Amino acid sequence: MSDDDIRRMIEEATKESLRQSFTEAGRKFIDAAGASERRGDYEGADRLFRQAADAYEKAAQKYRESRGYKGAAFNMCAAGDVYSELAESAKAVESYGAAAEDLLAASGEHLLWGEDAETAKGTALAMTACMIYIMIGKEADAFYKARTFSAENASRLRFPAIVRLSQIPQMLETAVQSLDLEGFSAAETAAVTELKAALANANAQEFTKYVDRGLDMVREILRGKLKIPKLVPQLVLPPDMTFTDEFPVGVAIRNTGEGEARNLQAEWIIDDGLVVVSGDLKRSIQILPAGESLDLAVVVRAAEALVGEKDYSLLVKGTYSDKLRTEYSFQAGPGTLILKDYKEGEKLLQALDVTDSRMGFLEASVEDSPFEKEPFHRLVAELTRSLKMARTQIEEGDLPAAKAQIQTVNLLVDAIDSILGDEELANRVEAAKESSKKTYANVVPKSVNEAIGSSIASRKTEIDTSSSDDLAEWEKEAEARRGLSVLVMSSKDNAADLVRDLEGVYNQLPTSAGTEDPGEASARSKTRSELETAIAKLVGIRSELERILSDKTLIVGARPATSEKAKFAKEQLDKLLGDIRAVIASKETDLQ
């Protein structure tokens, strides 16, 4: 559609608006918006959609002014549809809510006649208004208005068919509150068969889609309260089969959801090159409870015996439903089944035995090689472990992984054999070792020797530093000795002076006379004896002091250049340095 066509459609819609044919204007704006969207003019389409919604709202207001509430409801629903398309949920809810109120007003006009036919039409419109409320998420308002309608018009609701219409929202309310799926099914049947028919009789069939949307909303509410099933299928295919084998292929179906899966239907779709020997390609299961599993299998074989190998495709498709009869689907696969004209597991075991034998020869080659053996021993141990893993994989049916393991081990054994058998490489390795030894002998011992010499010199400097502290202590001790010597010398001189004084006193004592009184003679004799004793003791003290003065303990001597401890430590360091250098020189000779 060209731009001119779209422009013409907009002009026609505008003219309808000017003529106040707003409903028709809305339709034409919608058509123009759709054409703009198809041409990629989304901004223009958005503007036209809004003009359409505005036209519908004006049409609804015009109908209300003339008490044409059903027409007003139709236009407000149309406006709600446009706002839904524009994803403006708040405006859509507001428009649908206004439409529901218009339908309730239209219902009241039918009920005023008091005739059963008009009452049926009014009831249908009122219940449709309730379904619109449910559709926009206002189910509480819907159920309340339905109860209010039944209470206010109880006297008019005489026929059973009309009563059933009025009870549809209440049936839905009961189903939601008690999670009664059977009750919902009955209400859904009544809405689809009776309410839609009543709307047609009321010439309001354009509202039937909102009845369906209301039912969908109730279904979602129930689904939110229900426990939903979830089936997870997995194909189970044998790993090592030949064209002549008959073997089972299976599917494990587990219900990992919270609700039971109902009416489970599963069907095998198998490659034309396979023939079903036994089992059913289609299976039906009424109920698979939550947490339980179901295994389905058929036995197949190849349609013909071929040479080499061939891939076959298998697939399982299925459906199931929940308690609301919502249908779900699942699929297992497609899976690929590989058939051969030989058993690959047996072939791999033979290859494994051959590779095991190669490992024995490899270990012997490592022992005879000139290379460092430890790295090769580690490689051989790891390869041996890989072969054990491959054997386990064959036993468990994981043939591709086992095959890859064996191939990798053989490639590595080839590479190691190539290295061990390379004489030129071995010669280069030996030459490199000798060169490394000579380099080590020329560089490392010298650097070690220099480092040790530097360390010893550093330690001697530290010893000299600590020696000054020792000499200071020596000076202090020497000073103490000198002071003691002076004290002893002074004491000796004092003792000598005292001896002389006492000897003078002793010599001045008168000798005895014949006329002397015996008492005086005795006292004088005692005094002389005491003086003799004191003089003798003082002479002894003086002699002892002289001996002390001559003792080497008090002899200070010359001040040493370094302390004895420091001298001893430096001598030991020099001896240690000599021993280390001798060992280094010996190792240098060995490395040469």
Tell me the DSSP string of 27-43: HHHHHHHHHHHHTT-HH
- Give the mean pLDDT of the chain: 84
Confidence of residue 313 (pLDDT cuts 50, 70, 90): very high
CATH number of the domain to which 291 belongs: 2.60.40.10
Q: Is 364 within a domain?
A: yes
What is the rounded distance in angstroms from the CA atom of residue 405 to the CA atom of residue 396? Answer: 14
- Where a domain ends, among 193, 225, 257? 225
Specify whether 91 is located in the same domain as 151. Answer: yes
Per residue in 13-65, pLDDT (tens digit) is: 565 555 556 788 888 888 888 888 888 888 888 998 999 899 999 999 999 98
pLDDT at position 266 is 96
Specify whether 467 is located in the same domain as 481. Answer: yes
Specify whether 267 is located in the same domain as 170. Answer: no
Q: Is 33 within a domain?
A: no
What is the rounded distance in angstroms from the CA atom of residue 393 to the CA atom of residue 400? Answer: 9
Specify whether 212 is located in the same domain as 86. Answer: yes
Q: What angle do CA 274, 278, 281 make, to 5 degrees?
A: 70
Decide if pLDDT at 399 tops 70.
Answer: yes
Q: What is the β-pairing status of strands 274-278 and 247-255? A: unpaired
Mean pLDDT of 355-359: 85
pLDDT at position 564 is 66
Q: Is 51 within a domain?
A: no
Specify whether 239 is located in the same domain as 316. Answer: yes
Specify whether 267 is located in the same domain as 158. Answer: no
Decide if pLDDT at 443 tops 70.
Answer: no
More confident residue, 545 or 327: 327
Number of domains observed in the structure of the chain: 4
- Where a domain ends, among 190, 225, 260? 225
Specify whether 219 is located in the same domain as 101. Answer: yes
Give 23's contacts (C-beta < 8 A, 6+ positions apart): 55, 56, 59, 71, 74, 75, 78
**Residue 448 belongs to domain spanning:** 442-586
Specify whether 447 is located in the same domain as 529. Answer: yes
Q: For the chain, how long is the longest CA-to-CA vector?
A: 191
Distances, alpha carbon 510 to alpha carbons 62, 166, 507, 527, in Å: 173, 168, 8, 11
| Residue whose structure tokens are 């159920």 | 143
| Closest by CA position to 172, among listed 142, 195, 194 | 142
Q: Is 295 within a domain?
A: yes
- Where a domain ends, among 203, 225, 247? 225
Contact, 247 vs 214, CB < 8 A?
no
> Residue 156 CB: number of other CB atoms within 10 A?
18
Specify whether 75 is located in the same domain as 221. Answer: yes
Q: Is 430 within a domain?
A: no
Q: Is 451 within a domain?
A: yes
Contact, 358 vs 409, CB < 8 A?
no
What is the rounded distance in angstroms from the CA atom of residue 171 to the CA atom of residue 183? Answer: 7
Q: What is the β-pairing status of strands 261-270 and 241-242? A: unpaired
What is the rounded distance in angstroms from the CA atom of residue 77 to the CA atom of residue 62? Answer: 15
Specify whether 364 is located in the same domain as 240. Answer: no
Decide if pLDDT at 459 tops 80.
Answer: no
CATH number of the domain to which 562 belongs: 1.10.287
Per residue in 286-310, pLDDT (tens digit) is: 999 999 999 999 999 999 988 888 9
DSSP 297: E
DSSP annotation string for 494-550: HHHHHHHHHHHHHHHSPPP-TTS-HHHHHHHHHHHHHHHHHHHHHHHHHHHHHHHHH
Confidence of residue 96 (pLDDT cuts 50, 70, 90): very high
Distances, alpha carbon 338 to alpha carbons 152, 244, 285, 299, 343, in Å: 75, 13, 30, 15, 11
Contact, 157 vs 191, CB < 8 A?
no
Specify whether 446 is located in the same domain as 560. Answer: yes
What is the rounded distance in angstroms from the CA atom of residue 251 to the CA atom of residue 298? Answer: 9
Specify whether 320 is located in the same domain as 376. Answer: no
